[in-house]
Amino acid sequence: MTSLSDLPIRDDLRGLTPYGAPQAHVRVELNVNENTHPVPQQVIAEIMSRIAQALTTINRYPDREFTELRASLAQYLGHGLEIENIWAANGSNEVIQHVLQAFGGPGRSVLAFPPTYSMHPIIAAATGTQWLTAERDEGFYISPETAVAAIRAHTPDVTFFCAPNNPTGTPVSLETITAAYDATKGIVFVDEAYVEFAPTSHGTALSLLQGRPRLIVSRTMSKAFAFAGARVGYLAADPAVVDALRLVRLPYHLSALTQAAAIGALAHTPAMLAMVDDIKTQRDRLVHELAVLGFTPYESSANFVLFGNVADPHAVFEKLLSQGIIIRDIWMPHHLRVTAGTQAETTEFLTAIAALDAAQR
């Protein structure tokens, strides 16, 4: 049998492991922070008709500039953003890849603050960008002073923030982002995949874009929009940043079907986001109930909760899985992460974990 090490693969890819969150299809799936509510039927009907229309010209390449989609995204984001400020790709993972292809790469570095999104180091590795890390403060926060000290110590080409942070749910203050921006000559990239679940009082880094051409704010339709399967992520930045990304993307990277589906979904933004409040209620319920059970949940601004004081996380994960409930073992000692699902799913999870022997949990 041929193995990877027999192949003339890039030396820097030897020994790496691919992204591998288990894709078990079970009754209650609370492991990858999807929106577990399906897309409303009337939105599906509109998306179907737009896809049918797109199919009539599918023999032609799609709009390489996805102008109509960018207009819809600019309108959704507000903050005075225009088509020229917007970029999109097949999931924000591809958006991040474009950013590192343009601003990272061999001989360059990206600084991050673990524990953070597991795909960030994987995309750094795939683009040959050196992955540098710095410590967070107590409670997983990053103060402006902590961010600035890390940037001074490492002088990275790109600095990543994840706000709110996955897997901890911790917000990142706008003061931290502006301090980081002022301390670096490089790119500051803020991954706001979960921002729709955060209190509006936390603000968004979109409000900082004006006059900061090295700041990039990314979003996704995978979480709040319940659109993970469609693969649509996007960013807002200075038009010059968008020009840089055009140099590295493959032409026609967003299919005509993807563009049609996303435009259809964005035309029904209120219906698509209708379940966000319900999910926030379930998230807060998880924080409350897990504490009552003796775990140590962290306050979360996202659609998931990280909780500690788990005696044996692998055993708890397996026990729940055997009952048709999958959550996330993030391989952090004594911690597990669970996505806020529907009320019924959240109840199932809480009932099952409460029923485990005290010794097991």
Ligand X SMILES: *Cc1c(COP(=O)(O)O)cnc(C)c1O
Residues contributing to the site for ligand X (CB under 6 A): 33, 91-93, 117, 162, 166, 191, 193, 220, 222-223, 228, 233
Decide: helix, strand or coil at residue 174: helix
Closest CB to ligand X among residues 162, 256: 162
Q: How far is the CB of 134 from ligand X (least distance, A)?
A: 18
Q: How far is the CB of 25 from ligand X (least distance, A)?
A: 18
Q: How far is the CB of 170 from ligand X (least distance, A)?
A: 12
Distance CA 50, CA 54 (A): 6
List phi, psi (to 5°) of 31.
Answer: -110, -20
Q: How far is the CB of 112 from ligand X (least distance, A)?
A: 11
Closest CB to ligand X among residues 94, 157: 94
Q: What are the residues facing 110 on neighbouring strands? A: 131, 158
Closest CB to ligand X among residues 213, 229: 229
Distance CA 132, CA 130 (A): 6
Q: What are the residues facing 160 on neighbouring strands? A: 189
* Residue nearest ligand X, Cβ-based: 91
Token duo for residue 310: 């788990």
Closest CB to ligand X among residues 117, 295: 117
CB burial of 118-128 (b: ≥16 within 10 Å; e: otherwise) equals bbbbbbbbbbb
Closest CB to ligand X among residues 39, 352: 39
Distance CA 193, CA 220 (A): 5
Token duo for residue 136: 């967070």
Q: How far is the CB of 227 from ligand X (least distance, A)?
A: 9
Closest CB to ligand X among residues 33, 101: 33
Q: What are the residues facing 187 on neighbouring strands? A: 158
CB burial of 38-55 (b: ≥16 within 10 Å; e: otherwise) equals ebeeebeebbeebbeebe
Closest CB to ligand X among residues 33, 184: 33
Q: What are the residues facing 159 on neighbouring strands? A: 111, 188
Q: How far is the CB of 323 from ligand X (least distance, A)?
A: 25
Closest CB to ligand X among residues 174, 228: 228
Q: How far is the CB of 280 from ligand X (least distance, A)?
A: 17
Residues 6 or more apart whose Cβ sits within 8 Å of residue 265: 39, 43, 47, 221, 225, 227, 230, 272
Q: How far is the CB of 41 from ligand X (least distance, A)?
A: 23
Nearest to 242 by CA among 38, 122, 65: 65
